[in-house]
């Protein structure tokens, strides 16, 4: 599979699938530029070679042509981030887009209108993909966040190009996940948290042969604790997944993977930041209380495992970190991972809640890599081949 460094873009137009599905405020101003920053190295490489990038992306989930989802709202922000004024085409296919692309000079950038204004994008329509392919000489996919979808711009369009490659962002995502899943360095530790076992079961089963330690935290831990005979009060639980939890413990033993479950929890009566809380043994939570965070003994136990790890995957928080009183477990985990990284460990953070927590508490700059694609990353961890990546082979 080729990467962007395999090409010199001098005199070429590169049609790049980027993921500029960025948050906008009521005034249609971009409130978080991280996705644009993530694509910047790829865009700059093409510009510096003497090429012309044509950018295509979706924004939101429009029902047809909705003005509030127009990419024209983000054109000036892209210009500011890249340092080159961006031209805007009012459609992503058709005569206007083609003539603007044709007139593009080396060093200029063209941004196409929202791909999802056309239903054919999500349908993976071949004619629509062919129309997009007319706008460039080389196809570059740099949108990891959409690589798990077989859409026209992420997968089908690649069929129309001899020259196609990964951009820097996509390459870094694939390499980072490969480093976790196929590491020669040991020990490898996966921290899997969040609310439900059911949403992470395929991930856990796929990574067990590749890891040495599995830390289970967050709401999903209570299903394991109850399955082993613990009293969890009114804590979140998936009663129908207790057998599954026990089978994961058995599979872990078969793969010589050590499972680390919480020892204590910070429990309260109501799902609120306001009420009183107390630290309790996680296997003996009073009937009227629910656990909302990892307790102090658990934080120490998990930190000790992280400290000896060479490769760390963090997917899911250890508590309801959005509430100040129940964020300490997740903060302690973030600190432990940051310290291990500073001492030479490789750490990958991925999944919506983990990334939010890492950013909220300032750990995003203290880990090795923060993944930009929640769904795409989970599918790779599940062992699936992403259509957007396979299309580049």
The binding site comprises: 19-21, 35, 58-61, 116, 149, 200, 291, 322, 351-354
- Residues 6 or more apart whose CB falls under 8 angstroms from that of 294 comprise 217, 262, 264, 265, 266, 302, 318, 319, 328, 329, 330, 332, 333
Among candidate residues 352, 359, 360, 374, the one labeled active-site is 352
Among 122, 100, 95, residue whose Cα is nearest residue 111: 100
Annotated binding site for (2R)-3-phosphoglycerate: 35, 116, 149
224-259: buried (b, 16+ CB within 10 Å) or exposed (e) per residue? bbbbeebebbbbbbbeebbebbeebbeebeeeebeb
| Active-site annotation holds for 196 | yes
Residue with tokens 């965070």: 293
Neighbours of 102 (CB within 10 A): 10
35 is catalytic: yes
CA–CA–CA angle 127, 130, 132 (5° rounding): 115
Q: Out of 17, 35, 172, 179, pick the active-site residue.
A: 35
The DSSP code sequence of 112-176 is: EPPGGGSHHHHHT-HHHHHHHHTT-SEEEE--GGGTTS--TTTTGGGGG-SSEEE-HHHHHHHHH
Q: Phi, psi at residue 388, to the nearest 5°?
A: -65, -25
CA distance between the termini of the chain? 5
Does 310 qualify as catalytic in the annotation? no
Output Rg (C-alpha) for the chain, integer angstroms: 23
* Catalytically annotated residue among 50, 107, 374, 375: 375
Q: Which of 196, 251, 283, 360 is catalytic?
A: 196
Residues placed in the known binding site for ATP: 200, 291, 322, 351-354
Structural tokens at position 10: 């001098």
**375 flagged as catalytic:** yes
Q: 257: which DSSP letter? A: P
Half-sphere exposure in the Cβ direction for 5 (13 Å, CA): 6
Which positions are catalytic?
A: 35, 196, 352, 375
């Amino acid at each position: 599979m080729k990467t962007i460094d395999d090409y010199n873009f001098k005199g070429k137009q590169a049609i790049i699938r980027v993921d500029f599905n960025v948050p906008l405020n009521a005034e249609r101003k971009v409130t978080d530029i991280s996705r644009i920053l993530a694509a910047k190295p790829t865009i700059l490489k093409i510009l510096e070679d003497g090429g012309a990038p044509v950018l295509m992306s979706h924004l939101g989930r429009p029902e047809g042509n909705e003005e509030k989802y127009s990419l024209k709202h983000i054109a000036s922000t892209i210009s500011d981030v890249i340092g080159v004024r961006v031209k805007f085409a009012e459609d992503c296919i058709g005569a206007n887009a083609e003539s603007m692309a044709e007139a593009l000079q080396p060093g200029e950038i063209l941004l196409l209108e929202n791909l999802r204004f056309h239903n054919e994008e999500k349908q993976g329509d071949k004619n629509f993909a062919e129309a997009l392919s007319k706008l460039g000489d080389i196809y570059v996919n740099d949108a990891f966040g959409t690589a798990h979808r077989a859409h026209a711009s992420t997968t089908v369009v690649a069929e129309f190009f001899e020259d196609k490659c990964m951009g820097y962002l996509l390459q870094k995502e694939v390499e980072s996940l490969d480093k976790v899943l196929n590491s020669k360095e040991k020990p490898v530790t996966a921290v899997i948290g969040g609310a439900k076992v059911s949403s992470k079961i395929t991930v856990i089963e796929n990574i067990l042969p590749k890891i040495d330690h599995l830390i289970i935290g967050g709401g999903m831990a209570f299903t394991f604790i109850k399955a082993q005979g613990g009293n969890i009060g009114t804590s979140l639980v998936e009663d129908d997944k207790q057998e599954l939890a026990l089978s994961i413990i058995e599979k872990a033993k078969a793969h010589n993977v050590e499972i680390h479950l919480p020892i204590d929890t910070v429990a309260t009566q109501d799902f609120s930041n306001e009420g009183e809380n107390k630290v309790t043994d996680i296997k003996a939570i009073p009937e009227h209380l629910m656990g909302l965070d990892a307790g102090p003994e658990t934080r120490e136990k998990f930190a000790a495992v992280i400290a000896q790890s060479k490769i760390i995957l963090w997917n899911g928080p250890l508590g309801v970190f959005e509430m100040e009183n129940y964020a300490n477990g997740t903060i302690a985990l973030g600190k432990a991972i940051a310290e291990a990284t500073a001492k030479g460990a490789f750490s990958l953070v991925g999944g919506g809640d983990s990334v939010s927590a890492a950013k909220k508490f300032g750990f995003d700059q203290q880990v090795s890599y923060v993944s930009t694609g929640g769904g795409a990353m989970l599918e790779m961890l599940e062992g699936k081949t992403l259509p957007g990546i396979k299309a580049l082979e």
